Amino acid sequence: MTTSATPTPGIPTPAADTNRLTITGAGLVGSLLALYLARRDYQVDVYERRPDPRRAGVDAGRSINLALSDRGWRALEGVGIAEAVREVAIPMYGRVMHDAHGNLSQQPYGQPGQGIFSVSRGGLNRRLLELAEAEAGVRLFFGQQCLDVNLRQQELHLRDIETGAEQHVGYQHLFGTDGAFSAVRGALQKTERFDYSQSYLEYGYKELTIAAAPDGGWVLEKHALHIWPRGSYMMIALPNLDGTFTCTLFFPFEGADSFASLQTPADVTEFFGRVFPDALPLMPELTDDFFHNPTSSLVTVKCFPWSLGDEALLLGDAAHAIVPFYGQGMNAGFEDCTVLDELMERHGADWQTVFREFQQLRKPNTDAVADLAVYNFVEMRDKVADPRFLLQKKIEGKISAQYPGQWTSLYSQVTFSHRPYAEAWANGQRQDAIMARLMKHIETEADYDRPEVQAMVEKELERAG
């Protein structure tokens, strides 16, 4: 086996016997991490439960997309594949809200030209795997279910999902990127004094489809994330390259309007006609999708520590699974790779130090983005339908334009910057307090230009330093 990477100057080259690194999970974070590790001249083995997604027939038929933003882009740039991904990503420059009468309103995400990008989860994963395997010599083992991780023996207990054959595979340094239900974390949970929480929302989600136009075009504004905010629930839609949109309905499991209450195709059609009237005609496969696609749950996982000596480290959802409402799950996982790479640059193969500093640096930030993501659900399903909220966002935009560098919205700090999430959130909370004081004096957009409001803004910004 060879790798195409050259050693980075100044970093101790790993000794032959510690040169092999093991990853569990070849999802988005696992496959990107494999690339990062291989490019530092490690030999990387990746074990993944699912079959190879590059094989025909796997994952076919469903188009699931994700919103990629600045933190994710930086991580892709770090291994030189951002440009290739950008070619198949669709920029979304703002939200388009659909009210119950089909009326639309808009809210830009940031400054003109700033956007988040709809990318295909499967496509991105396949591209990362191809690069890892072809360019960097990473060994990928698919269809290997991890039954157990023996931390003491440093051994994975694997089961081939096709043959049923079991094997034990030793590891020197293990990277657990095996997702929200991580087997590596499951093993760590049994060690002494491991803090752990998993917390579910009383909402589930289901993916649905808005069809392409007959000519293959998009039937809604292509460069936007669409939201149907309905107070206690919502639907969103992100564009795909083939003209379709993937919709996600976030909906209570139980109650009057809920997954439990929609039992027949007629129930579903009546409900969508009543609450999403402009979307219903665009969803010819609605009832098929509704009853065939799974209803998934929404979990937040927090834990600590993420590492065991120099032997094991959790990253991505395995360490910090979050709900999807800030579009930061993948981005936070990719940022893990950036931060780990910086620490490898600094400490070389001193894995104990790398792992310890990694968890110390990342834990407060992934805790913050977990809380932000839950918080943003309320904003998306409820507040964006409130004219006062939208007015406040416009006023914030004006402050931001008038005082460049002195006011960056919380959304922009999270989405369009690399500021640590915890700092972003603390700033956002200070800004919220300022806006609450300011909005008492503002009824219309024009009020922003009134001298007393201008004076207040100036004073608040001075005080905020």
Count the site residues for a second copy by CB under 8 A.
Answer: 13
* Tokens representing residue 244 in the block: 């379709």
Q: Cβ of 207: how many Cβ atoms within 10 Å? A: 18
Residue among 105, 145, 297, 417 that touches a second copy (CB under 8 A): 297
Of all helices (H) and strands (E), which one includes residue 460?
A: helix 451-464
Using CB under 8 A, which of the segments 58-66, 107-115, 195-203, 419-427 binds a second copy?
Answer: 195-203
CA torsion through residues 105, 116, 46, 127, sign: positive
Q: Which residues of 52-83 are buried (b: 16+ CB within 10 A; e: fewer)?
A: ebbeeeebeeebebbbbbbbbbbbbebbebbe
CA torsion through residues 114, 119, 121, 123, sign: negative
Query: Is position 194 an interface residue for a second copy (rule: CB under 8 A)?
Result: yes
CB of 76 to a second copy, least distance (A): 33
Q: Which is nearer to a second copy, 234 or 303 (CB)?
A: 303
CB of 301 to a second copy, least distance (A): 10
Residue among 83, 87, 162, 192 that touches a second copy (CB under 8 A): 192
Residue among 17, 83, 195, 215 that touches a second copy (CB under 8 A): 195
For residues 239 and 213, give the distance between their C-alpha atoms in angstroms, rounded to a whole number. Answer: 13
Q: Quickly tell me which residue has 């340094």 as its tokens.
A: 173
CB of 197 to a second copy, least distance (A): 4
Q: Which is nearer to a second copy, 97 or 303 (CB)?
A: 303
For residues 196 and 420, give the distance between their C-alpha atoms in angstroms, rounded to a whole number. Answer: 22
Residue among 152, 193, 440, 463 that touches a second copy (CB under 8 A): 193
Query: Is position 83 an interface residue for a second copy (rule: CB under 8 A)?
Result: no
CB of 212 to a second copy, least distance (A): 34
For residues 181 and 335, give the distance between their C-alpha atoms in angstroms, rounded to a whole number. Answer: 20
Binding to a second copy (CB under 8 A): which residues in 266-295?
none
Using CB under 8 A, which of the segments 74-82, 192-200, 337-345, 404-412 binds a second copy?
Answer: 192-200
The interaxial angle of helices 70-78 and 28-38, nearest 10 deg, is 40
Binding to a second copy (CB under 8 A): which residues in 299-318?
299
Binding to a second copy (CB under 8 A): which residues in 240-259?
253
Query: Is position 200 an interface residue for a second copy (rule: CB under 8 A)?
Result: yes
Question: Helix/strand/coil (H, E, C) string of 366-433?
Answer: HHHHHHHHHHHHHHHHCHHHCHHHHHHHHHHHHHHHHCCCCCCCHHHHHHCCCCCHHHHHHHHHHHHH
Residue among 150, 153, 197, 263 that touches a second copy (CB under 8 A): 197
CB of 229 to a second copy, least distance (A): 24
Per CB under 8 A, residues contacting a second copy are 189, 192-200, 253, 297, 299
